[in-house]
């Protein structure tokens, strides 16, 4: 079984240094989660948005009942959605996620984005305007954060963090918080390696989680290009690994925690099997050359909002 390191967070708790993503796994996330537990995953990433908290939570509960894992060995991450940013909504949203998961508490609760959406109906996650932008509400993420801090006091969540925050937003949050975020979950892959934001977060004792670590592959279009690169294929061969494994190793070596999504048993096994080799400095430098900064998640429908995070370099 993979020897996944545990990473010390700024609140004294630990995060397993590799996780399973579950976005767009609806209906398959439970089976994927169970298989992942069997092969050594302990860190699971879900969100209210993914509509699979019940499924993921039940799978974990079953593995606890079977005696395969203990609750305290599991690290479950879920997220506050953009329609629940008003401070008075935060506790209810967290309690609902916690209840759906059925694991007693949430290990890490993230603010999914720094922007707040108008809640038009309880079922509309993406309130689109006729012009293709999102309908926002004027809620400052600092106020949302203060409500999240109370969740720690209440014991609903053990740790709190952020996602898709840029460096300026992080510093503003740090200047206005009682509890520091332990984590910033951001897009990171060879295509957008985020070295600057990772360094910035490390200097502030915030762990970076890498989402879309494979750049959400589109095999029919041979995208992203790094997955099909001859030199990267040769590097993988040298270590008796696959290109995705080299990519995860790279993301770990540059200081992040990858959370690739897969519902394919063989890939779930393959992806976590990256803790028995290390890339050379030259190999890391070569993988750096794929860094164009191009995102999978552009989030441009929020580009006019004052809290849009992707309008500065990092």
Residue 116 per-residue DSSP state: -
* Residue pair 170/201 in contact by the 8 Å Cβ criterion: yes
Tell me: does residue 181 bind ligand NAP (CB under 6 A): no
Q: Which is nearer to ligand NAP, 58 or 164 (CB)?
A: 164
Site membership for ligand NAP, residue 184 (CB under 6 A) = no
What is the DSSP code (8-state) at residue 218? B
Active site residue 113: no
Structure tokens at 110: 């993230």
Q: Fill in the per-residue mask, 12 to 31: x = in contact with ligand NAP (CB under 6 A), - = not in contact.
A: ---------xxx--------
Exposure string of 11-31, with b = 16+ CB inside 10 Å and e = fewer, is eeeebbbbbbbbbebeeebbe
Count interface residues toward ligand NAP (CB under 6 A).
Answer: 26
Distance between CA 215 and CA 226 in Å, rounded? 9
CB count, 10 Å around CB of 123?
6
Residue 161 is a binding residue for ligand NAP (CB under 6 A): no
Stretch that binds ligand NAP, among 135-143, 262-270, 279-287, 302-310 (CB under 6 A): 262-270
244 near ligand NAP, judged by CB under 6 A? yes
198-221 burial, b for 16+ CB within 10 Å, e for fewer? bebbeebebbbbbbbbbbbeeeee
Which range, of 52-60, 127-135, 260-268, 280-288, touches ligand NAP by CB under 6 A? 260-268
| Per CB under 6 A, 215 contacts ligand NAP | yes
Cβ neighbours around 165 below 10 Å, total: 26
Q: Interface with ligand NAP includes 302 (CB under 6 A)?
A: no
Footprint of ligand NAP on 55-114 (CB under 6 A): 112
Nearest approach in angstroms of CB 82 to ligand NAP is: 10
SS3 at position 223: strand
Confirm or reject binding of residue 256 to ligand NAP (CB under 6 A). no
Return the range that interacts with ligand NAP (CB under 6 A); candidates 6-14, 95-103, 148-156, 264-272.
Answer: 264-272
Q: How far is CA 75 from CA 28, 90, 239, 281, in A?
A: 20, 21, 30, 31
Residue numbers 192-211 binding ligand NAP by CB under 6 A? 211
Question: Closer to ligand NAP at the Cβ: 178 or 300?
Answer: 300
Residue with tokens 């925050």: 165
Q: Is 230 exposed, middle or buried (0-12, 13-18, 19+ CB in 10 A)?
A: exposed
The least CB distance from residue 67 to ligand NAP, in Å, is: 27
CA distance from start to end of the chain: 36
Q: Give me the residues that bind ligand NAP (CB under 6 A), please.
A: 21-23, 45, 112, 163-164, 185, 211-217, 244, 259-264, 267, 270-271, 297
Question: Any idea which residues carry the catalytic annotation?
Answer: 50
């Amino acid at each position: 079984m993979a020897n996944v390191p545990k990473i010390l967070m700024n609140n004294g708790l630990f995060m397993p240094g590799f996780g399973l993503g579950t976005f767009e796994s609806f209906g398959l996330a439970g089976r994927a989660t169970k298989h992942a537990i069997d092969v050594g995953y302990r860190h699971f990433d879900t969100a209210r948005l993914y509509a699979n908290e019940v499924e993921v939570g039940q799978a974990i509960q079953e593995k606890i009942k079977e005696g395969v894992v203990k609750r305290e060995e599991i690290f479950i991450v879920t997220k506050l959605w953009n329609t629940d940013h008003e401070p008075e909504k935060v506790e209810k949203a967290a309690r609902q996620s916690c209840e759906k998961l059925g694991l007693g508490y949430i290990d890490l609760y993230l603010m999914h984005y720094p922007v707040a959406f108008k809640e038009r109906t309880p079922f509309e996650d993406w309130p689109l305007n006729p012009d293709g932008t999102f309908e926002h509400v004027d809620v400052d993420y600092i106020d949302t954060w203060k409500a999240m801090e109370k969740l720690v006091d209440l014991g609903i969540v053990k740790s709190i963090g952020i996602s898709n925050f840029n460096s300026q937003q992080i510093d503003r949050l740090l200047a206005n918080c009682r509890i520091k975020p332990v984590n910033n979950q951001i897009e990171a892959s060879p295509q957008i390696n985020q070295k600057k934001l990772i360094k910035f977060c490390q200097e502030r004792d915030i762990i970076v989680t890498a989402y879309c670590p494979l750049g959400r592959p589109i095999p029919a279009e041979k995208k992203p290009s790094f997955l099909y690169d001859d030199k990267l294929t040769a590097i993988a061969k040298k270590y008796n690994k696959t290109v995705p494994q080299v990519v995860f190793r790279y993301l770990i070596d540059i200081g992040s925690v990858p959370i690739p999504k897969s519902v394919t048993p063989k890939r779930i096994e393959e992806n976590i099997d990256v803790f028995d080799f290390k890339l050379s400095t030259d190999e890391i430098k070569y993988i750096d050359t794929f860094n164009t900064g191009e995102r999978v998640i552009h989030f441009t429908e929020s580009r006019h909002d004052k809290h849009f995070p992707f309008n500065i370099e990092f």
